[in-house]
Amino acid sequence: MTAFLTDLLPFLQYPFMQRALVAGLATGILCAVIGVYVTMRSMSFFSDAISHSALAGIALGVLIGLDPVLAAVFFSVAVAAGITFITVRTELTSDTVIGVFFSGSMALGVLLIGMQKGYRTDLLSYLFGDILAVSTFDVVLSLGLAAVVLAIVFARSTLLLKIAFNRDLAAVEGTRVVVWDYIFMILLALTVAVSVKIVGIVLVSALIIVPAAAARNVAPDFRRLMGLAIVFGAVGALTGLAASYYLDTASGPTMVMVVVLIFVVTLVLRRNR
């Protein structure tokens, strides 16, 4: 089997490409699943805010000697919880709260970068991703978090759907809506944090939103919507990685362009239907 895959995809003979493929597929599928609920709840701006807040976590991790991805995970979860807490406890709109955290975390990230000694190319690579530089630890972390997040999402998919469609009805039926708001925001934060090494802070939101948006163009029901989103996310990751190898382009942006192309094709199909 390994020999067949190596003949079919010759770049898999390199260990760093093998790690990139595993991490890319895990991230593509995870982002697609979370993206379905993000698009249904119109939370695209929230995912942008979390992805950009990860910059502060990464810079803080480098500054204190902690793994940048782990630091991004903790910081992104803290920001997600903070946004949810203030939105629930105050009269401020969610857009306002997200905007405050978005700008504040970005400013903090830039300040922390300025405190680094010398020029840190590894830190700046997180802006646009560097999937070819993922370590074994990054792969294990992405697989572990993907397994946890997907297990929770699929186990509570009906409940999450109910909240997405009608929060008030879900609350009347006894669902602890606020608690699940916290849980979903944290799951989204974890997804963003583990994805920044793959496609970068600037583009991670696209990998979350675009496969789900493409699936919504052609899927007639939720089951096929989820299935198509997963397929589009996986195809985008695999095709983008292979294309970047042969075209000698950046892997993260190439993966995003593949899913954008898929979106355009599905949009044309939708118009024709």
Q: What is the pLDDT of residues 42-64, one digit of tens each?
A: 877 888 888 888 888 888 888 88
Read off the tokens for 227.
């299935």
pLDDT value, residue 50: 84
**Stretch 20-34: mean pLDDT:** 88
Dihedral sign from CA coordinates of 196, 201, 203, 206: positive
Closest residue by Cα to residue 77 from 194, 218, 216: 194
**Residue ranges making up the domain that contains 127:** 2-272
pLDDT value, residue 11: 65
pLDDT value, residue 122: 63
The residue among 249 and 3 whose pLDDT is bigger is: 249
pLDDT value, residue 4: 45
d(CA 255, CA 238): 8
pLDDT value, residue 171: 82
CATH code of 162's domain: 1.10.3470.10
- Kind and range of the H or E element at 181? helix 177-199
Long-range contacts of 260-267 (CB under 8 A, 24+ apart): 260/206, 260/210, 262/210, 262/211, 262/214, 262/232, 262/235, 262/236, 263/210, 263/213, 263/214, 263/217, 265/214, 266/214, 266/215, 266/217, 266/218, 267/214, 267/217
Closest residue by Cα to residue 163 from 182, 138, 136: 182
Q: How many domains does the chain have?
A: 1
Q: What is the mean pLDDT of the chain?
A: 83
pTM, two decimals, is 0.84
Based on the number of CB atoms within 10 Å of its own CB, is 59 exposed (0-12), middle (13-18) or buried (19 or more)?
buried
pLDDT value, residue 115: 78
Tell me the per-residue pLDDT of 111-152, one tens digit each, with 9 for 90 and over: 887 777 665 556 667 777 777 778 888 888 888 888 888 898
pLDDT of 37 over the 50 cut = yes
Q: What percent of the chain has pLDDT over 90?
A: 11
Distances (CA, A) of 80 to 83, 118, 178, 187: 5, 31, 13, 9
Tell me the per-residue pLDDT of 217-240, one tens digit each, with 9 for 90 and over: 998 888 899 999 999 999 998 898
Closest residue by Cα to residue 78 from 42, 108, 116: 108
Distances (CA, A) of 118 to 58, 109, 114, 180: 16, 16, 9, 43
Q: Where are the beta strands (DSSP E) in 105-216?
A: none
d(CA 225, CA 230): 9
How many Cβ atoms sit within 10 Å of the Cβ of residue 174?
7
